[in-house]
Every structure is written in C-alpha cells, then in structure tokens.
C-alpha cells in the first residue's frame, strides 16, 4: 500500500480539534472521509499533532496509506475535491516510505501565536488572532520568553487535562516580535504539553501589559505550579506552522 505524507492547512473554528470525536466534527474525520471517497476503503489518517478546538494550521502534517496508487498530485487534488466545503486544504502530497510516521518521525514542531493589540474590534482577523486592547511591550515579552529555552519542568504552563507522562519538556527556540499592530510569538520544540503554548502566551501578555516583569515570568516558570500561570490565551491566534522530519524518512524506497 502506498503511503503519502500530507501537508495540510485548515481554519480550526468549525472543528473540535484535530482528533476524531464521536459527537463533534474534527479535521481528522474530514480527511478520513475524503480519503474513503477517494480510495473506497477504511482509511486512517495519522497527524503530527493534536491541535485543540479552534486552533489553526498552516503546515500540519499527516500520513495515510491508500490501496490505490494514484500518484502524489492526484491524491492531493482528489482529497481537496472531496474535502469541500470544509475549510481544510491539502497543500502537498508526497509519496514516502513505510518508515515515515507523521507523529513519531517528527523532530521539530513550530507554532505561531498572533496577537493584535488595538482598541477597535477585529473584522477580517476575527477568530484568527487574539485582540488585546492594550498596547503590548513586545521587547519585554521577548526578554521574558528567553527563560523558556532549554529543558524545564513546565507544570506552570501545563493544562490540568494534559495526559503527558511528565511535565518536563525542552523548548529550542522562542521569539516575540512586533509587525505593525501585530505581535507574533513563535515557538519551536520537538513536542509540547497540552495547551502549553496558549498558557505561556497568556503569561507573556501579562509581561507585555506591564502587570508582570520578566523576572515575575521566570519565577512563575520556576515555581512549577499551575496556579502561577497567567490567563490562558484563546485558541484564535494559535497556528501549527510546520513540522520537521529527517530527510531520509521522507524518501520513497528504490524498486
């Protein structure tokens, strides 16, 4: 059975998240139903990450095994045809070896959080960015965020419903930058705790508004205490932007 790596973007607003659920629509369900119409078989789609309800993706990655060997471009176009009218698009399909697994082969995941700090309500960006009515100090937020780099006990920024075995994770890169009226937070790591990015974003906004200092933020992290977390940011502004893999596992075997 040919295996295909899918790069996917979606608007998370209509969905209860990535993972298939019994009572609510999910991105995984939409893709599996589209793949079933294409392949006429029971198809499972495996994603690189389980984004929450309302969270978007610019570069989610999944893999799927199909009975039919249609070629990558036809798989992409056929899936997109059957995905209508859902706000989900397969940007690229690529034939890969059986050794490739969208979740377990990933070596890096990249997230973006968009904040627009202005008084007027959002129109075009409603549901796709977090509006904060107070002007944020992006430089102070960036300074505070550097405390996150490296391996830490992230209990402070771990959701109570997180099912990970340990709160200890490593963040490889984090940056906060302003682009006009938009403040962007970018975070990269091999894996994340449940709602970790939204939790740390809410606390960084506390720094941006002047309620916390960068030292307060670091103290909250070091406390490893969920009660020290600031308000959790809404899902609106969060995007899974890319997932990285070793090049060798993305290749189709010869013969």
Q: Across residues 210-225, what is the average pLDDT?
A: 97
Q: Do domains 3-105 and 111-239 have the same CATH topology?
A: yes
| Radius of gyration of the CA atoms of the chain, in A | 19
* Closest C-alpha to 15, from 46, 51, 54, 47: 54
Does residue 60 surpass a pLDDT of 60?
Answer: yes
User: Cα 155 to chain center, whole Å?
Assistant: 20
Q: How confident is the model at residue 254 (pLDDT cuts 50, 70, 90)?
A: very low
Separation of alpha carbons 42 and 23, rounded Å: 20
Pair 98, 249: CB distance under 8 Å: no
* Closest C-alpha to 118, from 95, 105, 103, 134: 134
**DSSP string spanning 195-246?**
THHHHHHHHHHHHHTTSS-HHHHHHHHHHT-GGG--PPPPGGGEEEEEEE--
The enclosing H or E element of 6 equals strand 3-10
Separation of alpha carbons 197 and 157, rounded Å: 8
pLDDT at 255: 39
Does residue 181 surpass a pLDDT of 70?
Answer: yes
Calculate what percentage of the chain has a pLDDT beyond 90. 89
Does residue 125 surpass a pLDDT of 90?
Answer: yes
Enumerate residues 6+ apart whose C-beta is below 8 A from 99. Answer: 105, 249
The full set of domain ranges for the chain reads 3-105, 111-239
Could you tell me whether strands 130-132 and 108-117 are parallel, antiparallel, or unpaired per DSSP bridges? parallel
- For residue 97, the cross-strand partners are none
pLDDT, the chain, mean: 94
Active-site position among 39, 42, 52, 254: 52
- For residue 56, the cross-strand partners are 239
Does residue 124 surpass a pLDDT of 50?
Answer: yes
For the entire predicted model, the pTM comes to: 0.94
pLDDT at 39: 87
pLDDT tens profile 164-178: 889 999 999 999 999
Q: Across residues 48-70, what is the average pLDDT?
A: 94
The enclosing H or E element of 45 equals strand 45-47
pLDDT tens profile 127-180: 999 999 999 999 999 999 999 999 999 999 999 888 888 999 999 999 999 999
CATH match of 111-239 with 3.40.50.12780: no
Pair 243, 63: CB distance under 8 Å: no
Which region holds residue 150: left if phi is over 0, alpha if psi is between -120 and 50, else beta?
A: left
What tokens does 66 get? 């199909």
DSSP secondary structure letter of residue 160:
T
pLDDT at 164: 86
**What's the CATH architecture for 3-105?**
2-Layer Sandwich (3.30)
137 an active-site residue?
no
pLDDT tens profile 72-115: 999 999 999 999 999 999 999 999 999 999 999 999 999 999 99
Q: How confident is the model at residue 252 (pLDDT cuts 50, 70, 90)?
A: low
């Amino acid at each position: 059975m040919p295996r295909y790596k899918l790069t996917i973007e979606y608007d998370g607003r209509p969905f209860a998240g990535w993972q298939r659920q019994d009572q609510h629509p999910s991105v995984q369900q939409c893709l599996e139903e589209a793949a079933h119409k294409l392949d006429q078989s029971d198809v499972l789609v495996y994603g690189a990450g389980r984004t929450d309800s309302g969270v978007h993706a610019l570069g989610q990655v999944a893999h799927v095994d199909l009975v039919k060997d249609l070629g990558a471009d036809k798989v992409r176009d056929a899936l997109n045809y059957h995905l209508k009218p859902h706000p989900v698009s397969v940007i690229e399909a690529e034939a890969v070896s059986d050794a490739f697994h969208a979740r377990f082969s990933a070596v890096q995941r990249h997230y973006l959080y968009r904040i627009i700090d202005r008084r007027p309500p959002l129109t075009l960006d409603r549901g796709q960015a977090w509006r904060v009515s107070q002007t944020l100090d992006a430089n102070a937020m960036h300074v505070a965020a550097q405390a996150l780099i490296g391996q830490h006990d992230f209990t402070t920024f771990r959701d109570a419903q997180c099912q990970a075995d340990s709160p200890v994770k490593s963040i490889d890169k984090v940056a906060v930058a302003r682009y006009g009226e938009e403040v962007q937070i970018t975070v990269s790591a091999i894996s994340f705790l449940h709602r970790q990015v939204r939790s740390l974003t809410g606390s960084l906004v506390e720094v941006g508004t002047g309620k916390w200092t960068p030292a307060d933020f670091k103290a909250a992290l070091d406390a490893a205490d969920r009660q020290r977390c600031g308000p959790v940011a809404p899902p609106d502004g969060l995007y899974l932007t890319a997932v990285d893999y070793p090049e060798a596992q993305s290749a189709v075997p010869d013969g």
